Chain A
């Protein structure tokens, strides 16, 4: 079952330029869906549409199997969200900030200290939120999203402003929520390594179009398929000619001959042929594109 299903999502801020074009998004129940894209790709607009912060212009959105517009309040009672910068009432303390949301969500009061402890803000006492650092504000925003124990978390760049230790803590916390409490998480980021370490599923958006959607494993498979062999010899030009004459498609890149990935026997055969023709082979290596390169390739298409 899909926790979120968006079909044909289209949005324009002005008549000429579409911000989103026919976006299809399916977030599996119990998954951590990493929503990737460069700045301005349409991630936040998609999330805002899903939460009803923007009026929908085209397409359908259903959450927990129900159309969002018809069941808005019912669905929102089970969704925690953090969109862009965190919402913090600067003149209130962390506890008071969460009390505002506790009343709005009508959840038990004892969730407030629990949520604060979860994000490491339980010791802030009477300190007003305007005195918090950016990282602390971000944590408070995450605490507000977790307060009512939602089944779905929608987090837009949640680690913005956090120090490396904080990033790891929040990542671990999200992973635990997903594993232990079965919370489905939709997390957007422009930072691939962050998503790579956390997500089970990935969606890549660029210029309002969905370029890839699937499991992280399928993206990794794509990465494997895009791998190649790099060969360095005593005479790369002669080696190039030889390999081309044997039905391969070699290219010289950065002082190496690059070939499409091949099975082990085929690599041994290439080596044998090079040596038999009097060429010294200095290096044969399998080169895999990292996810970043795949991401760049996808977004540069």
Chain B
């Protein structure tokens, strides 16, 4: 990694400090696990019985991922990607950014890298949240035992890795649109429309052509009830391909912009 990229990344990362996107990652990462934690604490009799299950963590993760995969993860990524990219438009900063001695490609990739790191950060927080949702009731309530099953790190890593792959097309397209349009509502509107479309198309046998469907498809696969739209295709490769396509297109459009601030 060249030093210019590293400096550019540090500069971009600093811009996210106290930003709405940064808060979104933290709140979004802990939101569902917190609800699960509250639920498990309130209904502690049921919780106590679940703690002995040999698939305790898989079941808990499955419950958390259910809402996350279908709506919150794509929505969070739509918002975070758009918010981070729009920091420059919102602060009238493109003109200043583009008069710093940084190559356009360095700027493009460092900004994208910041988004990717934030997505990874979100997954880490979400997994920590799942762990806390499982472990904390035992610490708070004397009547609930600590889960007997050891925390399945590899399973959690693999699951998160797949969702990470499947959400990449959303990052790619949102990044592309956010770089092109000054108005925040354009990327947000397109993102919400695509998300709604994906929820409608997910049951269609060719639903895999919609790049926002892979996260729901992955969830159904995880649950063991793969949808017809994802049965005959490798959605992870498709997700990667869409991401590569959107990113290259986004880069070409960004580089060839006539007005840079």
Residue interface bits B198-216, CB-to-A below 8 A is 1, else 0: 0000000000000000000
- The residue in chain A whose Cβ has the minimal distance to the Cβ of B4 is A106
Q: In the bound complex, do residue B98 and residue A53 qualify as a contact, i.e. CB atoms below 8 Å apart?
A: yes
Q: In the bound complex, do residue A92 and residue B100 qualify as a contact, i.e. CB atoms below 8 Å apart?
A: no
Indicate whether B84 reaches chain A with its CB closer than 8 angstroms. no
Q: A104-B100, A106-B7 are in contact. Are A54 and B93 (CB under 8 A)?
A: no
Q: In the bound complex, do residue B17 and residue A54 qualify as a contact, i.e. CB atoms below 8 Å apart?
A: no
Q: Which of B1-44 contact A (CB under 8 A)?
A: 3-4, 7-8, 10-11, 14-15, 17-19
Chain B residues closer than 8 Å to A104, beta-carbon distance: 7-8, 11, 97, 100-102
Chain A residues closer than 8 Å to B96, beta-carbon distance: 81, 83, 87, 101, 144
- The residue in chain A whose Cβ has the minimal distance to the Cβ of B103 is A73
The interface centre, meaning the residue of A76, A81, A89 with most chain B CB atoms within 10 A of its CB, is: A89
Q: In the bound complex, do residue A100 and residue B15 qualify as a contact, i.e. CB atoms below 8 Å apart?
A: yes
Residues of chain B having any CB pair with chain A under 8 Å: 3-4, 7-8, 10-11, 14-15, 17-19, 87, 91-93, 95-103, 258-261
Q: A54-B259, A96-B17, A103-B7 are in contact. Are A84 and B95 (CB under 8 A)?
A: yes
Q: How far is the CB of B95 from chain A (nearest CB, A)?
A: 5
Query: What are some 16 contacts across the A-B interface (CB < 8 A)?
Result: A48-B95, A51-B98, A54-B259, A54-B260, A73-B103, A83-B95, A83-B99, A92-B15, A100-B11, A101-B96, A103-B7, A103-B14, A104-B100, A104-B102, A105-B101, A106-B3
Q: In the bound complex, do residue A53 and residue B259 qualify as a contact, i.e. CB atoms below 8 Å apart?
A: yes
Q: In the bound complex, do residue B101 and residue A85 qualify as a contact, i.e. CB atoms below 8 Å apart?
A: no
A51-B98, A83-B261 are known; give 18 further A-B pairs, CB within 8 A.
Answer: A51-B95, A51-B99, A53-B98, A53-B259, A54-B259, A77-B101, A87-B97, A88-B91, A89-B87, A90-B91, A92-B17, A92-B18, A99-B14, A100-B11, A101-B100, A104-B101, A104-B102, A106-B3
Q: In the bound complex, do residue B99 and residue A52 qualify as a contact, i.e. CB atoms below 8 Å apart?
A: yes
Q: In the bound complex, do residue B99 and residue A91 qualify as a contact, i.e. CB atoms below 8 Å apart?
A: no
Bound together, the chains give a CA A53 to CA B103 distance in angstroms of: 13
Indicate whether A202 reaches chain B with its CB closer than 8 angstroms. no
Bound together, the chains give a CA A55 to CA B258 distance in angstroms of: 5
Indicate whether A79 reaches chain B with its CB closer than 8 angstroms. yes
Q: A92-B14, A103-B11, A106-B7 are in contact. Are A74 and B261 (CB under 8 A)?
A: no
Bound together, the chains give a CA A103 to CA B17 distance in angstroms of: 15
Bound together, the chains give a CA A74 to CA B3 distance in angstroms of: 15
Bound together, the chains give a CA A69 to CA B102 distance in angstroms of: 13
Q: In the bound complex, do residue B260 and residue A89 qualify as a contact, i.e. CB atoms below 8 Å apart?
A: no
Q: How far is the CB of B79 from chain A (nearest CB, A)?
A: 16
Q: Determine which of B4, B92, B260 lies in contact with A52 in the assembled complex, contact meaning CB atoms within 8 Å.
A: B260
Q: In the bound complex, do residue A87 and residue B14 qualify as a contact, i.e. CB atoms below 8 Å apart?
A: no
Q: In the bound complex, do residue B19 and residue A91 qualify as a contact, i.e. CB atoms below 8 Å apart?
A: yes
Bound together, the chains give a CA A106 to CA B6 distance in angstroms of: 10
Bound together, the chains give a CA A51 to CA B261 distance in angstroms of: 10
Chain B residues closer than 8 Å to A88, beta-carbon distance: 91
Chain B residues closer than 8 Å to A91, beta-carbon distance: 17-19
Bound together, the chains give a CA A239 to CA B15 distance in angstroms of: 74
Q: A52-B260, A54-B260, A144-B96 are in contact. Are A87 and B91 (CB under 8 A)?
A: yes
Q: In the bound complex, do residue A52 and residue B8 qualify as a contact, i.e. CB atoms below 8 Å apart?
A: no
Bound together, the chains give a CA A103 to CA B91 distance in angstroms of: 18
Q: How far is the CB of B5 from chain A (nearest CB, A)?
A: 11
Q: In the bound complex, do residue B99 and residue A81 qualify as a contact, i.e. CB atoms below 8 Å apart?
A: yes
The interface centre, meaning the residue of A81, A87, A92, A101 with most chain B CB atoms within 10 A of its CB, is: A87
Bound together, the chains give a CA A276 to CA B258 distance in angstroms of: 72
Residue interface bits A79-122, CB-to-B below 8 A is 1, else 0: 10101110111111000100111011110000000000000000
Bound together, the chains give a CA A54 to CA B259 distance in angstroms of: 5
Q: In the bound complex, do residue B99 and residue A73 qualify as a contact, i.e. CB atoms below 8 Å apart?
A: no
- The residue in chain A whose Cβ has the minimal distance to the Cβ of B100 is A104
Chain B residues closer than 8 Å to A85, beta-carbon distance: 92
Q: In the bound complex, do residue B15 and residue A89 qualify as a contact, i.e. CB atoms below 8 Å apart?
A: yes
Bound together, the chains give a CA A55 to CA B259 distance in angstroms of: 7
Q: A88-B91, A104-B8 are in contact. Are A96 and B100 (CB under 8 A)?
A: no
- The residue in chain B whose Cβ has the minimal distance to the Cβ of A106 is B7
Q: In the bound complex, do residue B95 and residue A73 qualify as a contact, i.e. CB atoms below 8 Å apart?
A: no
Q: In the bound complex, do residue A87 and residue B93 qualify as a contact, i.e. CB atoms below 8 Å apart?
A: yes
Residue interface bits A30-63, CB-to-B below 8 A is 1, else 0: 0000000000000000001001111100000000
